[in-house]
Structure 1
């Protein structure tokens, strides 16, 4: 019975996502199956945590079977709606059959699938055999979920001063009490299904999250026009990254969830820029808005969508006026000493946002930690030896077309976030101590790799057209 409940908790949110997302893609579209499966798990899991919040908001105790019944009803409704609405192909017909498959290509495709399957089995065993291990997992995310599981309600967590001055059985405290609740709710969901607390099984969703990222990554590459073997090679490059594997095996951190949410939002956003597909735009919007609910850094990543969105939507003259106005406002802000409203501060010396933190602004940090972590240590294999030259050599290609230039602006916004974090604030210590430098990069790397791969495809195809 426990096994059945565990499988229900793992697969029911996935099925919920499939039921609603299959409305958006015709079955003949390139990569539709993997794409729907990948996005479905992430959206279904996020929807489950949203339902748990609503359940608590109306005063009901957290209970697995009533919540599962609600999810099942929504799933059945989704399948019923999908039967009554069929989307046209919009030209995304799978033409992979026109590519002749040599025996070596078939063998390589099968080998890559086998290697990925073996790797995921190993990662799953790592999760099952290891107790809760990562620091943030057993100091922040899991303790909160464990309290909620014991009480069957989402009691609030506050700072230690508030807790000391208002002693109550209804409030609790943690050092990172203000962190978003989503990751803890994912662990709570599994615990409710098990009817017990299990330090290993609560982390199985991390394995599914990595698999969903890979499926959606492959599906988006196929939809972009890459052939199946090239798409699978790109997916293998992503899923074999050591740091991504570490965050899957040492489950419990929120970074893998934010990496999947932000990167899949970014891929859908690039697809929307390319062809105006409203379903891709909807996916990008939903997942971008979900980022702040996973980690506080998600708010900053969400803002990286604004520059390319403004460039895409505004006429050229309006963009120039907006740019000039932005420069003028920036100058006024700097001369006036910034903005201070209560606890909110945005000045040339300090950034303080209540939901994000307090940061001292000054030019600091250095390139040595980046050189070591990106090019010398084993965190990323040879990713940066591919990405840096590919981006540099593709600059003329990106400038040649407006859509690619907007995509470059999007990737550049991510670079600005990374530079600002590690070179303009006291968070430079995170890079110098090698603590968070790779975790921040992990949020952005799947999107960067996707953009590099589609640029490489364009480099190979455009000379042929000339």
Structure 2
């Protein structure tokens, strides 16, 4: 058990210290934002751990818990020294005190925290007491981790035809053999610590990811000066979404991890759109880029994130000129660029191209009723999309141009993705079983809720600013 706790905390510590160093460059923060650092640090630390597992095996042919732990400890020490050099020891201390809350709001704050704990508790109970059920878990992500653990080697996975044509004993086949390795490496790590394979143990990082998402969202809301109650309400709204709870209680999918990278990446970009904090811009783009190594959809979200940044920095005249130039390039047959080492990006001959994703070919679908059913009738989202629809209508009320521009561009870019994939391509058939559609939105769920918090504050609190101190 001690080794399992070490395996959980050491990557978390590494990622948090390096994020603390990164945030020391921010001119907007007077002291560390502990919840945000811990939330984002968990995902960054697990990615670092997965990268070290891959690199040490690639260079030395080893899968050693002791060796990786030593490297993580070394990186933690380097991160600590860098922070110390940047800020001095006095500012390095991180306080865990509770923010100041008015007496009238303490009961509600305690209720929100209790409800979040209840959601996490029951999800964890299900995860540890049910067999591994999700299809992608036992056919791809966790299956691959189990083979690696049993062989103590990062055995290769190839297509069925390639597997039939080889005599190698350390080669296996998967339908999704070309999926990124990071999630399987993250699931492998706690089993290496325990020295034995246990499916319940592989679920632990994914369970903590739910807590990390709440911490990150709460911290980002507090960093913009939002009240403690509003930030807690955002955290509860996130953890109470049934589809997210299902992914926590039935572990093994990669979408919860992409929600940590792509979802929190967009949260940082939205925060940057309000605060113009360059550290948030860098963090957002970094997390979106790392999402490319989590799941293939990560490349799609990175492209949307770059488009979002461009929209925030261009005047309307330049933006319209860019749209017209893009349309002209598409109609003239020059709408695709080849990115070295990544592949095609753009539109050509009736197909959209995004690096890491197969061509999305135009094939219009009658998906309107299915989308409405998935968002507003089925129980996957509770009332979230009723809230978001109201937010869209509230855009017509007085709000700063900066806020309106950020929220409208984010919603329009996300709508463009949904329209292209589910209304204009053959992939609209995924709506029939209500799986891929919901999982795609789950990957940006934290950003959807953060956008809702921004709009709430813009409309209902324009004359009231919180003076709480971020702890």
Question: With structure 2 as the length reference, what TM-score do the two structures score?
Answer: 0.89
Q: Which runs of 5+ in 2 are unaligned?
A: 92-97, 466-471
Q: Which residue of 2 aligns with 1:111?
A: 111
Work out the CA distance in 2 between the residues paired with 1:172 and 1:16: 33
2:177 partner SS: coil
186-195 or 244-253: bigger deviation:
186-195
1:357 partner SS: strand
Match of 1:14 among 12, 15, 19: 12
Change (3 A) 1:224 1:419: same
Instruction: State how 1:180-329 maps to structure 2 within 5 Å.
Output: 180-314=180-314, 318-329=318-329
Work out the CA distance in 2 between the residues paired with 1:278 and 1:337: 31
Work out the CA distance in 2 between the residues paired with 1:316 and 1:372: 35
Q: Which residue of 1 aligns with 2:73?
A: 72
Change (3 A) 1:40 1:188: same
1:427 partner SS: helix
Q: Which residue of 1 aligns with 2:417?
A: 417
Q: Which residue of 2 aligns with 1:92?
A: none
Q: Which residue of 1 aligns with 2:3?
A: 5
1:22 partner SS: helix
Do the aligned residues in 2 keep the contact of 1:391 with 1:452 (CA within 8 Å)?
no
Give, in angstroms, the shift of residue 294 of structure 1.
0.9
| CA deviation string 1:23-67 (max 9, x = no partner) | 344797588111111011011011111111211221331111110
| CA deviation string 1:359-417 (max 9, x = no partner) | 4312113221222221122111111111101122224546x514541342123212211
Give, in angstroms, the shift of residue 282 of structure 1.
2.1
Instruction: State how 1:425-436 maps to structure 2 within 5 Å.
Output: 425-436=425-436
1:388 aligns with 2:386: no
Higher relative contact order (CA 8 A, sep 6+): 2
Change (3 A) 1:292 1:82: same
Change (3 A) 1:255 1:397: farther
Do the aligned residues in 2 keep the contact of 1:31 with 1:222 (CA within 8 Å)?
no
| CA deviation string 1:209-257 (max 9, x = no partner) | 1100000000001111210011101110111111100001100000111
Work out the CA distance in 2 between the residues paired with 1:245 and 1:361: 34
1:200 partner SS: helix
| CA deviation string 1:160-203 (max 9, x = no partner) | 11122233123221111011111100111111111111111111
Work out the CA distance in 2 between the residues paired with 1:300 and 1:287: 13
Change (3 A) 1:394 1:432: same
Question: With structure 1 as the length reference, what TM-score do the two structures score?
Answer: 0.90
1:36 aligns with 2:34: no
Work out the CA distance in 1 between the residues paired with 2:451 and 2:14: 29
257-266 or 118-127: bigger deviation:
118-127
Do the aligned residues in 1 keep the contact of 2:300 with 2:354 (CA within 8 Å)?
no
RMSD: 2.8
| CA deviation string 1:244-285 (max 9, x = no partner) | 000011000001111121111111112223333232122112
Work out the CA distance in 2 between the residues paired with 1:287 and 1:100: 32
1:157 partner SS: strand
Work out the CA distance in 1 between the residues paired with 2:439 and 2:398: 30
Change (3 A) 1:352 1:40: closer
Q: Which residue of 2 aligns with 1:63?
A: 64
Work out the CA distance in 1 between the residues paired with 2:403 and 2:459: 15
Change (3 A) 1:348 1:28: closer
Work out the CA distance in 2 between the residues paired with 1:259 and 1:158: 27
Do the aligned residues in 2 keep the contact of 1:291 with 1:298 (CA within 8 Å)?
yes
Matched length: 452
